[in-house]
Each structure stands twice: as structure tokens, then as C-alpha cells.
Amino acid sequence: MNITATPALPLGDDALILSHRLGEWAGHAPVLEEEVALANIALDLLGQARVLLSLAGDEDEDELAYLREERQFRNLQLVEQPNGDFAHTIARQLYFSTYQELLFDHLAATESELAPLAGKAVKEVAYHRDHAHQWTLRLGDGTDESHARMQRALDSLWQFTGELFEPVDGLETVPWSALEDSWTTRITATLEQATLTVPEGPRHGAWRAGAGRQGLHTESFGRLLAEMQHLHRSHPGATW
């Protein structure tokens, strides 16, 4: 498989894998309105993934999504984490969407091949972040149970946030340190407003920094990939 060395690949993988995770909520969300909201966010991310992966190689986006092996994916470990309970999903979305909005806002103002996509997608991502922000407030400043679950989710996923700001090949103009500072400021403001505590644990987990970007993934990713790729691999060349 001929995959071009471009930052479109890791960013496309982020969107693809998180889209799949959010799609797993179909039929299981706590309320109908939220099922629609999560499905719409998943579709936004899938649209981003299609554009980004179309820039990443000679194969079309279906081949890149369904025929690559686990070590060929370059997504962040954060986005592949299981949904867990609803608070866990919201914490993952808050961390990722805040990062993605800052990154796309920067890329939209550059002359990068990613600028057109970033300029359009940043408006979608702003909604994704606001959705996660509002739910973080509701859960954090809600009942004792919702507060405890939200804090546990934030603490559990914190170990994967360090990888967000590891430099990506081809994006040398991105001020990663400044992005991390802005991300930390936004996350801190949201959690304080929600009466939650910013986690204090290590931000790189058991894997070395940048592991997902290097093709090293957590145990749950293999199961996600098997499910996502099963139909395409079972019926190669089929059209619908």
C-alpha cells in the first residue's frame, strides 16, 4: 500500500477512529436527543476523515480505512479509548475537541494543503467542543454521582493527553508548546466552572510519548479495528 508521508494521515486517522467510537453509541445513548447529537458529531468527523485520507496516498479512503493493519494507523491513543460510561465519552470528547479546534484554527490561517479543510471543519469542531463543555458542566455540577463519574473519567483519560502535543511530521509550523498552553487554559477553565479538579497524574501513560503516532496502540484498538474492518474484508470488492 503506497501511503504518502503527509500530516493528513494521522489527522485523518484521529477523525476516523473517533467517529467509529461515537458511532458505537447508536441505540445506546442515555436520551434520544443525545443519540442524534453524537451521531452528528460522528458524521462530521467521518467527513473530515474522508477528505484527509484522500490526501494521504494513491489508494482511496476506503482502502486506507479498511485494509491497513494496526501498526499502519497513526491516530492518537486518546481517540481509540473505549466509550465507557457517558461521562467517559464526554471527557474524551472535551480533551480531543479542544485540541482539534486549536489546531484547525491555526492550520486554517496557513498555506498548508490542509488549510481549506481546517477552515471549514473548525466551525464543526467548535460545536463538538461546546457540546462536550456543556455536558461537562451538567455532569460535574450535577449530582454527587454524576460529579464522581465525570471526575473519574477525566482522571482516567488524562494519561493520554500528553500525546496531543507531540510534533507531527509535516506540521513544523505549528506552535505545539503554545497550543498546549492554550489547551490547558481552556480545559482548566471548563473544569473549574464544573466544580471539577484538573487531574495531576502523568500525561503519557505506560507508553512513551507519541506512541499512537508511531503505530503503537492500546489493547482495545485491535478489537475496534476488527469490528470496523470486518464487513469490507469479508466481501472484498463488493459495491452497494
79 falls within a domain: yes
pLDDT at 202: 73
Domain that holds residue 186: 8-234
pLDDT at 33: 84
Residues 119 and 121: their CA atoms lie apart, in Å, by 6
42 falls within a domain: yes
Residue 209 has pLDDT above 60, yes or no: no
Confidence of residue 5 (pLDDT cuts 50, 70, 90): low
CATH code for position 145:
1.20.1260.10
239 falls within a domain: no
223 falls within a domain: yes
Using a pLDDT cut of 90, give the percent of the chain over it: 76
21 falls within a domain: yes
pLDDT, one tens digit per residue, over 99-119 is 999 999 999 999 999 999 999
55 falls within a domain: yes
Q: Is there a contact between 61 and 54 (Cβ–Cβ < 8 Å)?
A: yes
Q: How many domains does the chain have?
A: 1
Rounded mean pLDDT, 158-182: 94
User: Phi/psi of residue 13, each to 5°?
Assistant: -65, -40
Coil, strand or helix at 57 = strand
> How far is CA 175 from each of CA 22, 102, 179, rounded to the nearest angstrom?
29, 11, 6
Residues 44 and 142: their CA atoms lie apart, in Å, by 29
Residues 239 and 231: their CA atoms lie apart, in Å, by 12
127 falls within a domain: yes
Q: What angle is formed at CA 147 by the lines to CA 145 and CA 151, rounded to 5 degrees? A: 120
pLDDT at 18: 98
Q: Global pTM?
A: 0.93
> How far is CA 104 from each of CA 36, 122, 230, 235, rounded to the nearest angstrom?
25, 6, 32, 36
1 falls within a domain: no
pLDDT at 37: 93
DSSP state, 203?
Answer: S
**103-121 burial, b for 16+ CB within 10 Å, e for fewer?**
bbbbbbeeebebeebbeeb
Helices (H) and strands (E) in the chain, counts: 9, 0
Only one residue has cell 469479508, namely: 234
